[in-house]
Amino acid sequence: MADQFNLDYLYSLTESNDPVPDAASTRSFGARTADKQGGTQQGRRAWQRRLRPDDQQHGHTSTKSNHSSAFFGATGHHNKHVVGSPGAAYSAQLTASLMSRPYTAPLSVLVTAWSSLYLAILWLYFSLIFALCFKIAWHSILRKPSHLFRKLKLYGSERSALSESSSSAAIDALHDKRTSAQIREIAFERSGEVLLWLGLAVLSLGTTWYHMIRYLLWSYQTFLHKAKLAQLLPPVRHAADARAGATLSPSSTLSTHITHAVHLSQTTLERMHVWLRETSLFKEAWLLVVGNELNWWWSAEVCIFTVGVWALFLRQRGGRSSIPSVWAFMLLGQVVAISFAQNLFHLALVLAPPESGRISISCSSVSAKEDDMELVRAISTNTDEVLRLYTETTEVECEQIDNTMSATGRSSRSDTIGTTNTTRRIWKQTRAITPPSIGRTLDVLVIAPVLVFAVRAVWFVPSTLPRILIMHLFPLLLSLYPTFAGGLLARLRSKLRIYIEHVMPTRHLLALSMLAQPSAVYALLALAAAIMRIANTYAAYGVLKISLQHVTGLQSARPGIRMLCGALFQRTFFSHPAQSSISFDNVCIGISSAAWIMIDMSRNMDKSRSARSARGAGEEQRSSLLFNLAFESAVVALITIIAGPSVTMAAYVAVDEHRREQSMLAAEKRLIVAGATPDAPSARSTTVSCSRPRTAQSDLKERARYILVNEVIEETIVRSNPGRVRR
pLDDT digits (tens, 9 = 90+) for 321-336: 778 778 888 888 888 8
**665 three-state secondary structure:** helix
Cβ neighbours of 579 (radius 10 Å):
23
Taking 70 as the threshold, does the pLDDT of residue 45 lie above it?
Answer: no
pLDDT score, position 338 = 93
Give the strand pairing for 411-429 and 706-720: antiparallel
Among 237-241, 370-374, 595-599, 692-696, the range scoring the smallest mean pLDDT is: 692-696
Report in angstroms the alpha-carbon separations of 222 from 19, 21, 43, 231, 279. 5, 10, 28, 14, 10
Over pLDDT 90: what percentage of the chain? 10
pLDDT at 592: 94
Q: 427: Cβ–Cβ under 8 A, 6 or more apart, which residues? A: 387, 388, 389, 390, 681, 683, 706, 707, 708, 709
| 340 has pLDDT over 90 | yes
pLDDT at residue 492 is higher than 80? no
Half-sphere exposure of 104 (CA within 13 A, CB side): 0
| 297 contacts 540 by C-beta, under 8 angstroms | yes
pLDDT band at 116 (very low <50, low <70, confident <90, very high): low
Q: Which of 133, 600, 649, 596 is nearest to 343 (CA)?
A: 596
How far is residue 70 CA from its own chain's centroid? 45
Q: What is the pLDDT of residue 531?
A: 92
- CA gap 429, 681 in Å, rounded: 11
Which helix (H) or strand (E) segment holds residue 579: the answer is helix 577-614
Instruction: Quote the pLDDT of residue 23.
Output: 41
Q: 254-302: per-residue pLDDT in tens?
A: 444 444 444 444 677 777 777 887 788 888 888 888 888 888 888 999 9
Q: Which residues pair with 685 in a beta bridge?
A: 696
Cα–Cα nearest to 232, from 430, 92, 328, 57: 92
**Lowest-pLDDT range of 135-149, 474-488, 630-644, 687-701:** 687-701
Alpha-carbon distance values, 5 to 15, 30, 47, 529, 724 (Å): 15, 12, 10, 46, 103
Length of the chain as a residue count: 727
Closest CA to 573 of 226, 204, 295: 295
Q: pLDDT class for 346, splitting at 50, 70, 90?
A: very high
87-104 average pLDDT score:
45
Question: What rounded mean pLDDT belongs to the chain?
Answer: 63
> CB within 8 A of 635, min separation 6: which ones?
none
- Bigger pLDDT: 461 vs 264: 461
CB 670 within 8 A of CB 373: no
496-530 tens-digit pLDDT: 766 766 776 666 666 666 667 788 889 988 999 99
Between CA 235 and CA 242, with CA 241 as vertex, the angle to 5 degrees is 85
3-class SS of residue 594: helix
Angle, CA of 474, 476 and 482, to the nearest 5°: 105
Ranges 22-26, 107-111, 302-306, 332-336: which has the least confidence? 22-26
